[in-house]
Amino acid sequence: MSEIEQLLERWRASRCQNISLAGLFTRNPIAYKWKAPHRSLLLRESVFWRTHDLLTQAHFLFTQNHILGSRILLRSALETVAILIYLNQMTEQVLSGQLNFHDFSDKTSQLLLGSRNKTTKQETLNIVGILQKCDKKYSKISNIYADLCECAHPNHEGLSFGYSRVDFENDETNFGNYWYEMWGDRHESLVNIIGVIVEYEYNDVWVPQIKKFENWLTEHDVTLEETKG
């Protein structure tokens, strides 16, 4: 198997299968009487499942030489990863006193339940704004996203340059599929970037942070009860 296929197989085998709210209460009844840490866990695992699914499909399309479809899925994968980065950033802000816990709780509700088609009561957060916040930690993420958006939209690159070349000597425009020529050599490195970010945010950031968050909630429980609502 290729390195990408090995990564995806490892992720497939390690995906969380269920979350028991009773188990969380047993772990820390004070922290998990608040909904935010539970939502944080649901978001973490949902991001991992969706990113794995998107990267699996993106890589399959790439192996079939469907580069445009692959890059559109990679764009969606990057948007998904941004949710976890943003979640971890906000959690750190709560712990450092820069963000009100109740505001954070509302944000986790929007991230988990938000929609644009009114299928839920929560309104979704703007993904471009989230990516801009992620850019403070990963300085190239907005540039990568912009490149992927040019493929997804029927702008110059996504439309005329993706499917035509001008022969100036003969005053002709020749049509064809030029996606592999433009981006074929970037697939592996881009999947690797997304994979590294996911694993770092999923394991190295979220895990120690949730433990600190549980302790913080326990210590601040009385104050939070007085200020809720």
User: Quick one: which H or E segment has residue 41?
Assistant: helix 35-63
pLDDT the model gives residue 229:
79
For 4, the 3-state DSSP assignment is helix
pLDDT the model gives residue 105:
97
Distance CA 110, CA 54 (A): 22
For 123, the 3-state DSSP assignment is strand
Contacts of 197 (CB under 8 A, 6+ apart): 81, 85, 138
Paired tokens of 126: 């703007």
Residues in the chain where the model's pLDDT stays below 50:
none
pLDDT the model gives residue 125:
94
Widest distance between CA atoms in the chain:
78
Contacts of 62 (CB under 8 A, 6+ apart): 70, 187
Q: Is 48 left (phi over 0), alpha (psi -120 to 50) or beta?
A: alpha
pTM of the entire structure?
Answer: 0.95
